[in-house]
Chain A
């Protein structure tokens, strides 16, 4: 299976380890990724709240690029996934399509009828492949808190492969990898990602709740699949520690890094050395 891979803006910058580990794991599992040529920002959770048409056209542009290659679109970032899936659905609706196509045709793009599905990395890993027989290095003794956030499984009509309110796919994947999964009740509570810059204090409060719970459950690390969540939970973790005078030092890893380790891929090859909050305690526990 070959996918048009849509890394989105973050996987080429602040979430490089997500990009590297996704490519490594997919290669190991025999799933081919061809990066979508000339992709653009999907507009995230922001663009459509400034202009619906601009937001939809931005996201639809990537779907149409995948359409032209006759391939399904694989998005890794939860925000990109959500917006792309929403755009793919809008292209199937006549009224919505009529709003989007004039903008795209001005960009020199034509919308065809081919039915491009939008998939997420977690969906493919949990539902398309069986990794259980390929585990070379079980992650024994590692306690993980799986955090899904908002857009990975919501809204359900765009996703449908896991529960929108109590998802389990990453929990199951982590268990298959040999890790111990803690009962993380806040796993679908939003971290405040889209409002981080203009409403920093609020976003910090929301993120702090998640760090507090994961820490109180004794998790060695949090596992997630969204670069925007990682931005709040990892990159801004030192700021939150400072603002609240607390200490977490909680490693935040992408699900693909956890799976990569269990598949026997060397940590360096997965980009684990690129984290800002040191993942060394996790690696030490696993004997690296």
Chain B
């Protein structure tokens, strides 16, 4: 267990705040994806995570509630939530949690599972394209990213900024890559197959 922060009344890890038994199924799934950092059992629903969240005004489910729903096994609701895609991974929640829960790491793991379960939106599409391009050469070539995500329209929208950057020597016309990009790519493709 990652929960290192101790509180004086001890940490119950098998029951939710309302006394119901925790449903282990989806929590195990999240831990299998994100490792021990994604463990959530010790959450006591204090709401500190939500209190510090930069983006909470726009979320349909607060980070606190997301953790509760995860404990209750309400997986479908979580997958549909926009919270996953509004989390900026800023780690304020994680730094403040008095019980050692790491909502940012939990959400990161849930994001990956959501993508694998077929959730699709602008964020999932962008994130997948980004990762595919990193896997390709090891270093992202921004014009290519922009083109694959937003097409010619996005390229044109960003053309003014692109010119400014190019004039200042901050935009190379050629992509950079790692030395052995083929082996690099194969190793990461294999890791993604899981």
Residues of A at under 8 Å CB distance from B? 9, 12-16, 38-41, 43-54, 57-58, 90, 93, 95-96, 99, 103-104, 106-108, 149-151, 154-156, 164-165, 188-190, 192-195, 197-199, 202, 206, 235, 273-276
Contacts and interface: CB of A to CB of B under 8 A. Distances in A.
A274 B139 contact: no
B96 A165 contact: yes
B contacts with A: majority SS = helix
B6 interface: no
B131 A50 contact: yes
Contact of A54 (B96, B111, B135, B140): B135
B73 interface: no
Interface residues of B, number: 64
B54 A195 contact: no
A202 B86 contact: yes
A48 B186 contact: no
Contacts of B34: 48, 52
A93 to B, nearest CB: 8
A276 B168 contact: yes
Nearest to B122: A198
B54 A190 contact: yes
Contacts of A164: 91, 95
A58 B127 CA distance: 15
Contacts of B90: 149-151, 154, 190
A37 to B, nearest CB: 9
Interface stretch (B7-15, B60-68, B176-184): B176-184
A44 B179 CA distance: 20
Nearest to A158: B91
Contact of A107 (B91, B149, B184): B184
Interface of B: 33-36, 52, 54-55, 58, 85-86, 88-92, 94-96, 102, 104, 107-109, 111-112, 115, 121-123, 125-128, 130-131, 134-135, 138-140, 142, 149-150, 161, 164-165, 168-172, 176, 178-180, 183-184, 186-188, 190-192, 194
A66 to B, nearest CB: 15
B168 A16 contact: yes
A48 to B, nearest CB: 5
B161 A276 contact: yes
Q: Which of A16, A44, A49, A90 has the most chain B CB atoms closer than 10 A to its own CB?
A: A49
A41 B139 CA distance: 5
B88 A197 contact: no
Contact of B190 (A50, A106, A193): A106
A53 B191 contact: yes
Nearest to A106: B187
Nearest to B2: A157
A53 B96 CA distance: 26
A47 B131 contact: yes
Contacts of A274: 168-170
B164 to A, nearest CB: 5
Contacts of A188: 92
Given A43-B131, A107-B187, A49 B108 contact: yes
Nearest to B193: A51
Contact of B111 (A49, A99, A273): A49
A48 B112 contact: yes
A49 B149 CA distance: 18
Contacts of A276: 161, 164-165, 168
B171 to A, nearest CB: 6
Q: Which of B88, B112, B170, B188 has the most chain A CB atoms closer than 10 A to its own CB?
A: B88
Contacts of A202: 55, 58, 86
Contact of B139 (A9, A190, A193, A273): A9
Question: 4 tightest CB-CB pairs across the interface, nearest first?
Answer: A150-B90, A40-B138, A106-B187, A190-B90
B88 A155 contact: no
Given A53-B191, A199-B123, 5 more contacts: A47-B134, A96-B35, A154-B94, A194-B89, A195-B88
A13 B108 CA distance: 27
A188 B94 CA distance: 14
B138 A192 contact: no
Given A107-B183, A194-B88, A206-B55, A51 B138 contact: no
Contacts of A150: 88-92
A285 B74 CA distance: 58
Contact of A45 (B88, B179, B184, B188): B88
A170 B94 CA distance: 23
Nearest to A189: B54
